[in-house]
Structure 1
Amino acid sequence: MPETTHAQSTQIQLASRPEGWPTAENFRTVTVDLPDLAEGQVRVANEFVSVDPYMRGRMSAAKSYVAPFELGEVMTGGAVGRVVASRAASLPEGTLVLHQLGWRDVAQADADAFRAVPELPDAPSSLYLGILGMTGLTAYVGLTEIAPVQPGETVFISGAAGAVGTAAGQIARLLGAARVVGSAGSAEKVALLTDKYGFDAALNYKDAPVREQLPALVPGGVDVFFDNVGGDHLEAAIDVMNDHGRLALCGAISQYNAQQAPQGPDNLVSFIKSSLSMRGFTLGNHLDKAGEYNQRMSQWFADGEIRYDETVVDGIENAVDAFLGLMRGANTGKMVVRTA
């Protein structure tokens, strides 16, 4: 394949830092000519790129666990694609690869910026951005390292119809949980959790306050809470935690666009009375679990134990719309942008 193949790249840059909810005006779409490959470099035509809630935090200049996106630079993040030109023996043309070069249809860099992954004969390559990738690993770390699930326990998962939430529900059950309960933002998503993903019960947080709905769904209390939402979900979970319950804080999407500091939970005294433990985490500190996870998830997947949903938006030029939709709950399962 000649090196001139895919010699241009359409890319999405951060143009300005959002205040509150992001808008399309915070981004810029550009098309650039790619230089000839240098020795040791490859050019990759992406098949899918990922949009994720954590990206909202990186749009702010505030100090966080990872460096903010730079203005005028491409939005980085997970992507999967195929090598279309190569000057690196380790990654010949046709190799399927993962990388973190983000929102662009064609990526070009040194070979060590890419990781070859096995072909998926009966599934889309986008699963490497979801249940077979960092999304699934995040759920696994939360339920094995941060708030370990023991057989017979009850698990409550907030934001359960999203990518991490659907993974967490299935993994909790595979780890031996006796009862798995989730929250979602529509009747359709609630039905999906119970009908497809095997949740024992689920609530629609838009129907009534979570604090009012949750107790009836967990009459025996909650042993492990996996939180993607924060705010009212965290407060409601604390109310129903059993003695020695564990809370894993993975995300707080309800607060990412807040312009004022949210009020904290009013029931933190329960941590004393019930000997609770709460721990936040980011995946970057637990990548040593990737090998173990890949082995276990590969077996679960091969055994037909894993289900998944994807919300697919076509076209790199629509990556911003996909991200804005994600922030407002428009996705079921993993949100990806198909660029091929």
Structure 2
Amino acid sequence: MVTSTQIQLARRPVGEPVDDDFLITSVDLPEPQEGQVVLRTLYLSLDPYMRGRMSEAKSYAAPVGLGEVMVGETVSEVVATRSEHYAVGDIVRAYTGWQTHAVVDQRHLRRIDPAVAPLSAHLGVLGMPGFTAYAGLLEIGRPKEGETVVVAAATGPVGSAVGQIARLKGARAVGIAGGPEKVRALTEEFGFDAAVDHRSPTFAEDLASAVPDGIDVYFENVGGPVADQVTRHLNTYARLPVCGLIANYNATSAPEGPDRLPAFMGRVLTLSLTVRGFIQTEFVPTHAEDFAREMGEWVLHEKIRYREDVVSGLENAPEAFRGLLKGRNFGKLVVQVA
């Protein structure tokens, strides 16, 4: 019998999650049945969408139930098996959540080749965030050579990939991030054409200087005041893939100030904008194979670079997650569990 340490959702957060919203406990797992394996978690991915899954509000996926393990994608090792397709020692990507061990049906696993890239990269640039950037930008944004692509949260795993893919497609990439270190990394490390600090008191002026010819694609990760400034510079026929709105995830009331929706809708009409929200899973059937091939080659040949922010110990996941929602991490946030 295998014992798993789990972090369960103890209550639904109001605003920013606190420690009492989580319960760390240990449970004995059932014996694997035919076609199942026992997994030991090596790395756990922490992502902004998890905040929405903690709420009962209607969304694209069911909320995590109280007393259930917090959701999340993992890279894991097979430690016991009753599957003909997976052997002990295989490394797989799974969706086992915030726990040290799990029993999983073989249908829900994807084998990973450890020789391709560091294991944790399969939760970032080669995993869901990288695919989100790839599919959202190329299917909805459709950047053309010479156009200007702007992305918020640009040093995150999605944003940094968006900008670099845009440049590979011949577009000009402008990143928005918080703080001098992140802004500097956008141009010096990730190869963006320009970068702007949204925390600067001159953000509005700096953004205007960075996009003298306007914005053709805005990849939306943030919302809030950043989006308010960006949308002032959209060109006719601009495309807006809406991936996330992290500025609002801990909100407990409507934002202060005037209602900006009428002005935005006016731009949608007069500029013939395309605004399209998406969940990356909808593009898996049509884009997964191309992504695996192209992104693998880009990473291998260092045409796309990435950063990781690795936290050690499952017990530190709640605090790391709070930091993620405040932008404290630099790069893809993962927890090294084992």
* Short-chain TM bin: over 0.9
Choose from 232, 239, 248 the match for 2:225: 232
Choose from 276, 291, 311 the match for 1:279: 276
Cα offsets for 1:246-278 (capped at 9, x unmatched) = 111111000111111334443432222222221
Deviation at 1:210, TM superposition (A): 4.1
Which residues in structure 2 correspond to 1:92-111 (within 5 Å)? 92-111=87-106
Q: Distance in 1 between matches of 2:251 and 2:88?
A: 45
| Residue of structure 2 in register with 1:76 after alignment | 71
* SS in structure 2 of the partner of residue 139 of structure 1: helix
| Residue of structure 1 in register with 2:213 after alignment | 220
Aligned partners of 1:231 and 1:264 also within 8 Å: no
Q: Distance in 1 between matches of 2:280 and 2:95?
A: 14
Q: Which runs of 5+ in 1 are unaligned?
A: none
| Residue of structure 2 in register with 1:335 after alignment | 333
Q: Distance in 1 between matches of 2:66 and 2:260?
A: 32
Which residue identity lines up with residue 247 of structure 1 in the other structure? Answer: L
Q: Distance in 2 between matches of 1:256 and 1:111?
A: 34
Cα offsets for 1:4-46 (capped at 9, x unmatched) = 6xx2111110000011111111101111122333222211111
Q: Distance in 2 between matches of 1:243 and 1:9?
A: 54
Q: Which runs of 4+ in 1 moved over 4 A?
A: none
Q: Distance in 1 between matches of 2:115 and 2:61?
A: 31
Deviation at 1:51, TM superposition (A): 0.7
Which residue identity lines up with residue 270 of structure 1 in the other structure? Answer: R
| Residue of structure 2 in register with 1:143 after alignment | 137
Aligned partners of 2:29 and 2:102 also within 8 Å: no
Structure 1 length normalisation: TM-score?
0.94
Query: How much is the aligned-residue C-alpha RMSD, in angstroms?
Result: 1.4
Which residue identity lines up with residue 236 of structure 2 in the other structure? Answer: D
Q: Distance in 1 between matches of 2:322 and 2:202?
A: 25
Aligned partners of 2:7 and 2:99 also within 8 Å: yes
User: Please, which moves more after superposition, 234-243 or 68-77?
Assistant: 234-243
| Residue of structure 2 in register with 1:158 after alignment | 152
| Residue of structure 2 in register with 1:124 after alignment | 118
User: Please, which moves more after superposition, 193-202 or 33-42?
Assistant: 33-42
The reply to whether residue 180 of structure 1 matches residue 173 of structure 2 is yes
Which residues in structure 2 correspond to 1:44-63 (within 5 Å)? 44-63=39-58
| Residue of structure 2 in register with 1:301 after alignment | 299
Choose from 318, 323, 326 the match for 1:325: 323
* SS in structure 2 of the partner of residue 47 of structure 1: strand
Aligned partners of 1:211 and 1:232 also within 8 Å: no
User: Please, which moves more after superposition, 263-272 or 193-202?
Assistant: 263-272
Aligned partners of 1:210 and 1:232 also within 8 Å: no
Which residue identity lines up with residue 16 of structure 2 in the other structure? Answer: W
* SS in structure 2 of the partner of residue 236 of structure 1: helix
Which residue identity lines up with residue 224 of structure 2 in the other structure? Answer: G
- Describe the shift of the 1:165–1:26 C-alpha distance in structure 2 as closer, same or farther (beyond 3 A): same
Deviation at 1:109, TM superposition (A): 2.0
| Residue of structure 2 in register with 1:112 after alignment | 107
Cα offsets for 1:290-330 (capped at 9, x unmatched) = 11111111121222212110000001111111111111111
Deviation at 1:189, TM superposition (A): 0.5
Q: Distance in 2 between matches of 1:264 and 1:242?
A: 19
* SS in structure 2 of the partner of residue 293 of structure 1: helix
Structure 2 length normalisation: TM-score?
0.95
Cα offsets for 1:119-157 (capped at 9, x unmatched) = 235x32011110001100100111111111111111100
* SS in structure 2 of the partner of residue 269 of structure 1: helix
The reply to whether residue 87 of structure 1 matches residue 87 of structure 2 is no
Q: Distance in 1 between matches of 2:268 and 2:231?
A: 8
User: Please, which moves more after superposition, 34-43 or 164-173?
Assistant: 34-43
Q: Distance in 2 between matches of 1:194 and 1:303?
A: 19
Question: What percent of counterpart residues are identical?
Answer: 46
Deviation at 1:111, TM superposition (A): 1.8
Deviation at 1:113, TM superposition (A): 2.4
| Residue of structure 2 in register with 1:24 after alignment | 19
Deviation at 1:96, TM superposition (A): 0.8
Q: Distance in 1 between matches of 2:270 and 2:307?
A: 40
- Describe the shift of the 1:317–1:239 C-alpha distance in structure 2 as closer, same or farther (beyond 3 A): same
User: Please, which moves more after superposition, 277-286 or 88-97?
Assistant: 277-286
Q: Which runs of 5+ in 2 are unaligned?
A: none
Deviation at 1:209, TM superposition (A): 6.2
- Describe the shift of the 1:36–1:267 C-alpha distance in structure 2 as closer, same or farther (beyond 3 A): closer
